[in-house]
Amino acid sequence: MQSLILFIFVILTLNLHSESSKKFIIQLDNDFFLNEDEDYTNGLRLASMHEKSSDAEADTLLEATLKNLSGINSDSSLNQYRNRGSGLTRYAGGSGITQLMFTPTDSTALVPPVGERPYAGWLGLEFTLQLKNNQSVSGVTLTLGTTGKASLAEKTQDWVHEHVTAKSHLFKGWDSQVPEEVTINLHFDHKHKLPIDAWTHNFPIKLDGYHEWGAAIGNFQTNAYLGLLVRSGYNLSPSFVTPRLQIGSYAHDLFKAEDQGTNRFSIYTYAGVRGTAVLHDITLNGPVFRSYKYSVDNEPLVGEALVGYGLSWKQFELSHSLTYRTREFKGQIKQHPFGSILLRFSSPF
């Protein structure tokens, strides 16, 4: 069944023929930006996105379903008002590979101490489809992955600590990590542009932003969230990138058409907040279909705030942010901030 779903999403992704070049995305979350090495200690995504450039009819059942769910091009008078000036409906598809890594604070502990995170790693493939116009974007993402040794989290961390960073210690408790379980998840994400750009229309420094909601269901993550992001800067780019790695949400041109501002120099700052209701997190609660004695109970509500800055020029965009997240599990000793960077660039072919 999982192989069939994977095959369907690959076909859907390849069906999104683009007249423009692909966008490649590299995202890194890590707490070394704050001189720490614990908790959510590393996240890495390598991905690509491409977009249809015409207002074509939905080519697949999934595209048609997305259009109906988002309300884009609906005949209702309310949606006609909302979509006034929205521009063409566009589709974008993409795929990527992501690795997440979690450790306790004490690197010498063979099992996670009380009040600290269990060892956990996750490695997964992502296949995403977005439907958007100049005001709204809706996306659905399928993830197929695994926890445990097959996630390669221990090997990756050991290699980095031995060959890249100046840290000499290796974490000793990976034998107690969340055991292997194949995960399958669906993630839904919706963003809608805030009507604040008109406030600074005649000024050199612009203001814009969006509000968002989303949900995930599966044995990897089951949650729902609400959020808000506001940017301010010169020649604001169309991509609305946030470096913080979020499964189910890709950094891509959201509302504006790709030919608006992509060749201009842009510099900006941004800030955002998000609240998440969490039902299940395999990196905390452990596997659904296997027992795990070091699991912890997740907090049902988690909040976070992020601040950052970015710049873009022609086909390149670079952004950096810091995320401050509230406690994620019962008995967690302290909150854990982390930093993120993102590099996005277009393929020359």
- Domain residue ranges of the chain, discontinuous segments joined by +: 2-346
The residues that bridge with 136 in the sheet, in sequence order, are 192
For tokens 């994620």, name the residue: 328
What is the pLDDT at residue 5?
A: 42
Tokens of 1: 């069944």
What is the pLDDT at residue 52?
A: 65
CA distances from 159 to 28, 152, 167, 246 (A): 16, 11, 11, 25
How far apart CA 59 and CA 139 sit, in angstroms, is 16
Query: What is the second-level CATH architecture of the domain 2-346?
Result: Beta Barrel (2.40)
How far apart CA 72 and CA 64 sit, in angstroms, is 11
Output the tens digit of pLDDT for each of the chain's 349 residues: 344 344 344 434 444 444 456 788 899 888 776 666 678 888 999 998 887 654 545 555 555 655 555 545 544 333 433 444 455 677 888 889 999 999 998 888 899 888 889 999 999 999 988 888 778 888 889 999 999 999 999 998 888 877 776 655 788 899 999 999 999 999 999 999 888 877 887 888 889 899 999 999 999 999 999 999 999 999 887 777 677 888 877 766 666 654 454 567 889 999 999 999 999 999 999 999 888 999 999 999 999 999 999 998 878 889 999 999 999 999 888 888 888 999 888 765 5
Check: CB of residue 31 under 8 Å from CB of residue 43.
no
Nearest residue to 306 (alpha-carbon basis) of 273, 338, 328, 334: 273
* Neighbouring C-alpha atoms within 13 Å toward the C-beta of 202: 0
Tokens of 114: 């009380």
How far apart CA 120 and CA 100 sit, in angstroms, is 8
Residue 43 neighbours by CB distance under 10 Å: 21
What is the pLDDT at residue 60?
A: 58
Check: CB of residue 42 under 8 Å from CB of residue 103.
no
For tokens 């989303």, name the residue: 214
Beta strand extents in 194-258 (DSSP E only): 205-218, 221-234
Nearest residue to 147 (alpha-carbon basis) of 2, 292, 29: 292
Label residues 132-142 b or e (16+ Cβ within 10 Å = b): bbbbbbbbbbb
